[in-house]
A and B are shown apart, each in its own frame.
Chain A
């Protein structure tokens, strides 16, 4: 059924897109024929930001050529490697990205790492403009002792592991403990908690890797505490994710009623989203006072910051975490957590730190703000660097849903097109585009993976998934991906 639907929509949109593009190309060629060469833009990173920026550029100018360079042989960034396996609807955006990649003026070049295989300077020479959309591949560290103990993971790695990110395939977390602590209260924290407590019968019908499924089968984790430094009114997750936790079968919310003192009174002044989220949390207190039967527990713990991780008797594995007890200064979204001087220890055999992703510098020639961990920019124009733009998490920081990334990518594309039309970008010079870069890559022994080659990997993954009753079984190894792509 799903395939029929996808096919229906794809064919429909494809027909429309080609109709639209033909009409636009013709008029655009007439409009821009006074320029020397057609504008060539390249995008660094094949995640949502890259694809949405490309989509808007291709649409805005019928004479523009757009190449997307991606480090991995497979496209779609965090839609493939971040979005939880039980959120297949979110991944529908892949259908639109696929149409963009298949557009006649768009090329996808996977397996090319910018900053390593090719420098940004070289891209700037070959293209009229370069858009950095390389996401946030690092993670913020807790900055406390014990981070290297066994049983301590960053959410980034943990998510990468269950989603088949090649670099995380060896993670194999030991889930042989009853209590897990997740540090951070954003949606990623809730994704991790939900995956740990979801029934296997449900997960095995998703695209979670078989390897992760096996580990989860052996999991003893029954209780998850999700710890945040501020209070219920500052929690970073969104309501959909909290509702999903509440709806987990045989699972009960384990909140501390004391944490919610005075919260009901504050409700009336809150904006609707915050109000509904808070009401939902308050409701879990009531339901669970009723003493419903459950084998699993999950709960938020508020006003706590990590002080140190506590090792077990051998000093090798994590056995708990010491938390500073905070109080709030100020109120509302801006309230600050201030330590009271008290501490509290929580026992746990698994600790997942979900306090944020972080972008990394890509190339010495590209400005980077080490404090905010983004490429400094004004509406997507990289500061003091003509011809360089950015979009997505590297532009804005690692927050927001795909729709947020879409909007800011459209903004960057609009600005870029404006710069082409009003001067800053000189289109009178001829640029060789991907021709020049593929020649460089050849001399360096790097072979790009095209979009149709990715489609071979895709078909193989879907085929492997079918055998297991899953939408796909991801290939975990880059070498194997390349082998499938090139045979």
Chain B
């Protein structure tokens, strides 16, 4: 867990892009990440862009290292999948082709909040710190709870094995945010 969270950092725009691929690719080595960090010094980068999770976990080779995740979908149906540590919950939804309407619209770049998930209290506590940027997007999510997180920011670890996450109901009536006036 701590490894995964330790790899989170505020990154410049160019790095957000790269780290996104890295988090998707299997082997995100610490070496690659730190060399990328050098290219884009967050202090120099004028607008500090979002905190993208970089899952600094080496992909296990054997399938028994997989983690079980239960998704309770909007219709109440539970979908159980096996996924690899190091993947984000967005990766899981995409790779396993889970039928969750509109999930992950911004493709994991902390710009949409459509990957909102609700965790059980105990699991939530294990997820580690949450960045200001993730909180900012979560604040726009419909049906925000005290144990809400954005799935694209959550990396799977062995200790999360067997967890259950709930997909919040979507409502057509989200008027708390204002994109225009």
Residues on A facing B (Cβ under 8 Å)? 1-2, 4-5, 8-9, 12-13, 16, 19-20, 52, 56, 86-90, 92-93, 95-96, 136, 184, 186-188, 198-199, 201-202, 236-240, 243-244, 247-249, 272-273, 276-277, 354-357, 379, 396, 398-404, 406-408, 410-411
State A238–B144 Cα separation when bound (angstroms). 15
List the B side residues contacting A95 at CB < 8 Å.
107
> Which of B94, B132, B137, B172 contacts A407 (CB under 8 A)?
B172
26 CB < 8 A contacts A-B: A1-B17, A5-B20, A5-B21, A8-B24, A12-B94, A13-B94, A56-B101, A202-B47, A240-B133, A243-B133, A247-B48, A276-B135, A396-B172, A399-B175, A399-B181, A400-B175, A400-B177, A400-B178, A402-B112, A403-B105, A403-B174, A404-B174, A407-B172, A408-B172, A410-B102, A411-B172
Q: Which residues of chain B in 140-181 are interfacial with respect to chain A, using CB atoms and an 8 Å cutoff?
A: 140, 142, 144, 170-172, 174-181
Interface size class of B (residues with CB under 8 A): 35 or more
User: A186-B181, A188-B179, A273-B144 are contacts. A1–B112 as well, Cβ < 8 Å?
Assistant: no
B17 to chain A, nearest CB (A): 5
Instruction: Chain B residues near A276: list those with CB within 8 A.
Output: 135-136, 139
Q: Which residues of A contact B14 (CB under 8 A)?
A: 1
* Minimum CB distance partner of B44 in chain A: A249
A199 touches B46 (CB 8 A): yes
> When chains A and B are docked, how far (Å) is the Cα of A273 from the Cα of B171?
18
In the complex, which of the residues B109, B135, B142 contacts A92, with contact meaning CB atoms closer than 8 Å? B109
Smallest CB–CB gap between B43 and chain A, Å?
10
B114 within 8 Å of A by Cβ? yes
Q: Does B81 contact A (CB under 8 A)?
A: no
B92 vs chain A, min Cβ distance (A): 13
Q: Which B residues contact A (CB, under 8 angstroms)?
A: 13-14, 16-18, 20-21, 24, 46-48, 50, 94-95, 97, 101-102, 105-107, 109-114, 132-133, 135-137, 139-140, 142, 144, 170-172, 174-181
Question: Which residue in chain B gives the minimum CB-CB distance to A398?
Answer: B180
Partner of B170, one of A13, A273, A398, A407: A407
**Contact partner of A90 among B106, B133, B177, CB < 8 A?**
B106
Q: What is the CA–CA distance of A5 and B19 in the complex, to the nearest angstrom?
A: 10
> Which of B18, B114, B139 is within 8 Å of A238, CB to CB?
B139
A293 CB, min distance to chain B CBs, angstroms: 16
- Point out the residue from A8, A238, A407 that lies within 8 Å of B142, measured CB to CB: A407
Instruction: State the CA gap A2–B107 with chains docked (Å).
Output: 12
CB-based closest 6 A-B pairs: A89-B109, A273-B139, A89-B111, A411-B172, A356-B181, A408-B172
Chain B, Cβ-Cβ closest to A93: B105
B179 touches A400 (CB 8 A): yes
Q: Is B102 within 8 A of A403, CB to CB? A: yes
A404 with B105: CB separation less than 8 A: no
Question: Smallest distance from the beta carbon of A84 to chain B beta carbons, Å?
Answer: 11
Inside 8 A of A236's CB, which chain B residues have their CB?
178, 181
